[in-house]
Amino acid sequence: MSAVPELRRAALARASSMRDGRVAEVLRRSIPQVFERAGDAWESSDGTVRAIDVRLAVDGHALGLCETFPSVRDAVIATITAEAPRVLGASVVELAIVWGVRERSVEAGYRDDGGEPLDRGFGDDVKRALVGFLRASGDDESARALAGGELEIGAREIDVIGARVDASKLEPALAALYGRSMRVIVR
């Protein structure tokens, strides 16, 4: 849908007037995807209202902000759902915030796009996302320790090599990133 980038820009503009800058940060680190809900439309006084679902793919840092601070998640959802009728002429029925974008480097600065899709099986992508998630959630110590190590990704487990980090601090973050529990083995 061609208006999807416009939805992101409109939501960013709305978020820039909010007190909490983390809402705009999440939206800057996102790629929205819109899905029509077939057969889900209703009549209003202004005509037919289309129904859509939105999937907001974000990087690890943005997901860490949303998972750690429910008010940030709620404000992101409210911002997108407020702009969708104006920009897309549709009402949001469901909105999911999921990990699906590579971490933005500090050097990248602001780009109009939300980022690049990631490879969930590539250790460097996962490590950067995990470090970003941990930093966003306030665990700088674990983030620093993990940044110096390497990750090997398996189907249900992740090996951490060369980093002294507590596996119990990584498992909740990985569960949020992958949407399922992942076993962490520190070597």
Number of helices (H) and strands (E), helices first, in the chain? 7, 6
Asked if pLDDT for residue 187 goes beyond 70, the answer is yes
- In the numeric block, the tokens 């940030």 are attached to 72
Gyration radius (Cα) of the chain, Å: 18
Asked if pLDDT for residue 110 goes beyond 60, the answer is no
Domain 4-99 CATH class label: alpha beta
What kind and span of H or E run contains 36? strand 30-44
β-strand 47-58 against 150-153: which pairing, if any? unpaired
Q: How far is CA 152 from the centre of its chain?
A: 22
**pLDDT, position 108:** 52
- 3-class secondary structure, 153: strand
The pLDDT-based confidence of 107 (bands split at 50, 70, 90) is very low
Q: Give residue-wise pLDDT tens across range 127-180.
A: 999 999 999 999 999 999 999 999 999 888 999 998 999 999 999 999 999 999
Q: Where along the chain do the CATH 3.30.300 domains lie?
A: 4-99
**pLDDT, position 183:** 92
